[in-house]
Structure 1
């Protein structure tokens, strides 16, 4: 099958690579968002998907507005059979959706209609879900609301963070996609139950700041949902400290929220919350690399009774 593949984030890469490894399919063009300035020096950087496409030798197209008539004609000239999108990051208009014989489909890391929107994996972790999955569906005018073609469930492992879960979902999505492409006619479209729709949203900086007046389980979910990037953070001695891994302790909290209650040898340090203590296991200080919390404690010389906010 002749394919145009549109994506931007790391989630899309396994599917791109899997298709490229199958001789019966040919990726005519990879479409991604334009390069953006990144880091302190604001160096222009291609999206992860764009970088992967270039490594695979796939022609790359990064328009500012994919729905511009000139860009639609550019895609029409490829004479592709199908358009596949995965975390592309832009709305595709009706003309573009109807341009291909097998239509335009999307890979979405949730069991639609649950967690439509831009951050479904983080939203599932924040909600305390133990089960998630992927959906393949036909693109429609409304976001993530098109008819379903395939779904596969995936268990969320205990203490699994966003990075690990997204990678497992991406690998599952690549397997699902190849299965679908072998016999697309075997997967009739089924309308979503829109009454059961829930939504995720984009993150903001306030979401990442941990509040130790909350229960330990809720705080741990936030740590998992934002790790390894961008990282939930706290303030210690006026500097940002990212908390990347933690587990709930067995002891009930008696100290003020955010207070260091104990140092656990070769593991890390415990903080007080609204109910139980939270054992911090992995951190990243401002301007430093990630490290285990015990090593951070040795360098920062933490003491019980000190407060992290």
Structure 2
């Protein structure tokens, strides 16, 4: 299966290695050129460069930049919005990993809000990207307990990072075998929290989406914070 991987940092690089281990062909990678320090090369970009995989600058992922024959777009710690026309340029569409039990904690800082709101449970969700940011059908999901004294970093590194790899591997294997799992999110339980001191996600196909998904509510706690 030919996969276009969009993402960044350690998680993106780990997913890149996972796809190669599975025998998938990573036909292109969309990742920042540099890390947040502006000096060192982004880990996913570096992994793609070492493997000779074509690089797409983030923010320029469009139907015309998707390589011919791409079966699936996979978003791994990506902050770019993958628009409908871009998804339609592939065989199956696009999936992404979100570090929460969707539809809870939609938004860019799900792990931080999980800790901030003192949730006893956290989790990860692989979902189908759609015109609703973080609102697409669920392909795979599992939970973890949030231990007393858990931090944003420990919850991500020790629990949600490895859970994401497990769920993504399972989903990619299913799709390659022709097994497509899609369960609509229950909007009754949906929450949306704002980014924590970061700019909103880039949405190059803004004409195809709304500001917030229909039926999605903003958490009252988030609004007061």
Q: Work out whether the TM-score is over 0.5.
A: yes
Rounded to whole Å, the distance in 1 between the matches of 2:36 and 2:72 is: 31
Rounded to whole Å, the distance in 1 between the matches of 2:172 and 2:197 is: 37
Match of 2:173 in 1: 182
Flag structure 2 segments of 5+ consecutive residues without an equivalent. Answer: 199-225
Match of 1:201 in 2: 194
RMSD: 2.2
Match of 1:81 in 2: 71
Is the partner of 1:21 in helix, strand or coil? helix
Number of equivalenced pairs: 195
By how many angstroms is 1:13 displaced?
Answer: 3.1
Match of 2:32 in 1: 33
Rounded to whole Å, the distance in 2 between the matches of 1:156 and 1:13 is: 26
CA contact (8 A) 2:30 2:58 kept: no
Deviates more, 1:165-174 or 1:114-123: 165-174
**The one of 41, 44, 53 aligned to 1:49:** 44
Alignment of 1:50-65 (within 5 A): 50-55=45-50, 57-65=51-59
Match of 1:192 in 2: 185
CA contact (8 A) 2:48 2:55 kept: no
Question: More strand per residue: 1 or 2?
Answer: 1
CA contact (8 A) 1:14 1:170 kept: no
Is the partner of 1:54 in helix, strand or coil? helix
CA contact (8 A) 2:103 2:186 kept: yes
Question: For each residue in 1:192-217, what CA deviation from the matched residue of structure 2 results, as whole angstroms up to 9, or x when unmatched?
Answer: 11231112322239xxxxxxxxxxxx
Alignment of 1:1-309 (within 5 A): 1-23=1-23, 25-35=24-34, 38=37, 43-55=38-50, 57-68=51-62, 72-77=63-68, 79-167=69-157, 168-184=159-175, 185-204=178-197
CA 1:37–1:18: 2 relative to 1, 3 Å: closer
By how many angstroms is 1:173 displaced?
Answer: 1.1
Is the partner of 1:188 in helix, strand or coil? coil
Relative to the length of structure 2, the TM-score reads: 0.78
